[in-house]
Structure 1
Amino acid sequence: MNIHIIGGGNLGVAIALGISKYTANHKVTITRRNIESIQYLEQKGITVSSNNTHEIQNADVIILTIKPYQVDTVLNEITPLINNKIVASAVSGMTIESLQTATQNSCSVVRIMPNIAIQFGESATCISFPEKDKSAAQPIVDLFQKLGTAPVIEEKLMDAATVLGACGTAYALRYIRASMQAGIEIGFDSQTALAIASQTAKGAAQMLLEEKIHPEQLIDRVTTPQGCTIVGLNEMEHQGFSSSLIKGIKTSLNKIKE
């Protein structure tokens, strides 16, 4: 496919890099008004342009990784050129219906919510689309399945997917940072503490993905009677570890819905 990404910020660049590295036979173009910071992408075979409509008529898929306030301007600019194409929108809070209206129902619209780990082929990308566009959406599902996981969900859950899958990257990194800081306090240098904390989190996640069981079942494997693991877990719960994380996720969701 010819893939045209509008929005060369962190997410747009991560998608472009992921596609170029982990998939084959796709031509990627990415646009941004000020291209100086992303011109290095050309060395990786990615076309970079300051013009949102640059060869857009040759695109099969247009991926929007822009801010909500930019949508009207961008769609007014590109709509005359994207008839019968697929628009995959990663714009937070922007419904399929509103996008179809803005594009004058001239193309198929799919909502996607990847995270920046897509750069390393490890995104949790939630996807939603109308039933009438199921066949058009399938290439999008296939593409993002090569870049991590790509569950298809109901559109009403897309805001929740943003919080759990996209904001969730920051929450997971904050856990790793805290674990690193604790590692320094108990005797490790910062680099060693970071390496241990990062690999431990990665290993725990991989076990869940491979075995597809409840986290508590894996916790039980490393929690022995009167051991150091259980006292640490209990202290974290006494200090509100789980409840603070849940409250943070719900607060983020409320922000999106404002």
Structure 2
Amino acid sequence: MGTTMQITIIGAGNMGGAIAKGLFQHKKDFDSLKICLADVSQEKLEKSSSYCDHIFTDNVEAVANADIIIIAVKPWLVEIVLEEINASLNPDRHILVSIAAGITLESINRKLQYVFPVYRLIPNTAIALGESMTLIASQNTTDEQDIMISSLMEKLGKVMFIPETLMSAATSLTSCGIAYALRYVRAATEGGVEMGFSPMQAQQMIAQTLIGAATLLLDDSAHAEVEIDKVTTPGGLTIKGLNAMEEAGFTRAVIAGLKASR
């Protein structure tokens, strides 16, 4: 790679735009980084123009000087994009990254004329706030490339390398998991309203409580059950509430939801 590393993101939708914005905000953390964004929609590009160095409506032109190409389009458009840029790709220069759900590493390389280093990422919508849990699987990559991709994505949240065979399960936990966590917030908010709080008051209390709970686990590397035990006293309110939730099928419902969305 040259002195300046260029990242071209194809697809200026919610996820592609969030990645561009997050990386652009952290440009100062890298020696020399150029962020480019490509999309057929001029309207989307104009909305994103303030957090990228250059915009393109032509994908071939967009990848010409790229080092890392992030494909952030809908899954059914990945093959079209790959066919479009195939002739312009060089395995000695380009690293491909896909965030399309369900598109395997092998299927990406099968569409290309050469074998490329390829990454498959599963971020979640919290990436827009720099708080994503991003799962990464790779094929034909080096340790140096893994470190580089990891360092980039760590600017947008937490990262974890996993086998590609676990990607579907990871989607349930992290990508779908955002919705599941918010469904708990909604249910707890309704309970709070029943107990006399306004919806806004209840939601604020619950959201901050979830931040606190997550921070306890992430900062102390503690087991969830250990933290639960700290607030569960014999005969106390917490154990009564936990038992009532279990009687209503709380744990069973969560596991069923995760398995259903694999």
TM-score of the superposed pair, with normalisation by structure 2: 0.90
2:15 aligned with 1:15, yes or no?
no
Please report the RMSD computed on the Cα atoms of aligned residues, expressed in angstroms: 1.8
**Measured at CA, do residues 220 and 22 of structure 1 come closer, stay the same or move farther in structure 2, by a change above 3 Å?**
farther
Following superposition, the deviation at residue 115 of structure 1 comes to 1.0
**Residue 2 of structure 1: SS of its match in structure 2?**
strand
- Alpha-carbon contact 1:35-1:48 (below 8 Å) kept: no
Match of 2:64 among 57, 68, 73: 57
Alignment of 1:157-168 (within 5 A): 157-168=166-177
Alignment of 1:12-161 (within 5 A): 12-24=16-28, 25-45=32-52, 47-84=54-91, 85-130=94-139, 132-161=141-170
- Alpha-carbon contact 1:16-1:46 (below 8 Å) kept: no
Structure 2 CA distance, aligned partners of 1:81 and 1:241? Answer: 52
- 1:106-135 Cα offsets, whole Å, 9 max, x none, are 431111111111121111111111365433
Pick which of 244-253 and 222-231 moved more.
222-231
Structure 2 CA distance, aligned partners of 1:47 and 1:169? Answer: 31
Structure 1 CA distance, aligned partners of 2:204 and 2:27? Answer: 28
Structure 1 CA distance, aligned partners of 2:192 and 2:60? Answer: 50
Pick which of 63-72 and 237-246 moved more.
63-72
Structure 1 CA distance, aligned partners of 2:53 and 2:194? Answer: 44
Match of 1:186 in 2: 195
- Alpha-carbon contact 1:109-1:133 (below 8 Å) kept: no
Give the aligned residue type for 1:67. K
- Alpha-carbon contact 2:56-2:62 (below 8 Å) kept: no
Structure 2 CA distance, aligned partners of 1:127 and 1:211? Answer: 24
Give the aligned residue type for 2:249. G
**Measured at CA, do residues 114 and 180 of structure 1 come closer, stay the same or move farther in structure 2, by a change above 3 Å?**
same
- Alpha-carbon contact 2:20-2:52 (below 8 Å) kept: no
Pairs aligned (count):
253
Structure 2 CA distance, aligned partners of 1:228 and 1:214? Answer: 21
TM-score of the superposed pair, with normalisation by structure 1: 0.91
Match of 2:242 in 1: 233
**Measured at CA, do residues 15 and 160 of structure 1 come closer, stay the same or move farther in structure 2, by a change above 3 Å?**
same
Following superposition, the deviation at residue 249 of structure 1 comes to 0.8
Following superposition, the deviation at residue 92 of structure 1 comes to 1.4
**Structure 2, unpaired ranges of 5+:** none
Alignment of 1:165-180 (within 5 A): 165-180=174-189
- Aligned-pair identity (%): 41
